Chains A and B, each alone.
Chain A
Amino acid sequence: DIQMTQSPSSLSASVGDRVTITCRASQSIANSLNWYQQKPGTAPKLLIYAASNLESGVPSRLSGSGSGTDFTLTISSLQPEDFATYYCQQSYTTPETFGQGTKVEIK
């Protein structure tokens, strides 16, 4: 199975900060990498697919990059609605494994 490792596991940031979350795959997954956001008590929501494609309706302050084994999710200017947990997922091969999550908290 492909292991997905996110860092950091949690971070504290202020509104307006630039935030970067990284995701590393245990083997190359080309661009088969998705990012999801989950707020407490709610279902996950797809943010980015194929490493860098923004899902419809997702604000442009979010962006994704990377290929192969190393990927990043960047929030250019953190907004109050961005405080949540973020997960990466590889869809290169079954089982389609998730990272352990990165919780973004208010400083």
Chain B
Amino acid sequence: AQSVTQPDIHITVSEGASLELRCNYSYGATPYLFWYVQSPGQGLQLLLKYFSGDTLVQGIKGFEAEFKRSQSSFNLRKPSVHWSDAAEYFCAVVYPNAGGTSYGKLTFGQGTILTVHP
């Protein structure tokens, strides 16, 4: 079954430290990949997306993500975290070869909660 895995439920970093959030997808064909961020009680904001081309993708708020086909991964990175980055981060995918009603459906990982210490 198509799925997406975020191995880390909760990550804590100090302000100014670098950050990497992991995301792995399960399907053979390259999916369309997204990272969203959700502040408490808020909606989801799109950080970046990857469809094709350059495997290093730049997003908003200083985030970037790298697509690695060999590792089925799309990890999110930020070189220096700010306290305002504390939120929940969701990796999401659309599998191009999914069948039936799964075609075109956005599949979310379970999310990673980021805590930032001053």
Is A bound to B? no
**Partner-A contacts on B (CB < 8 A):** none
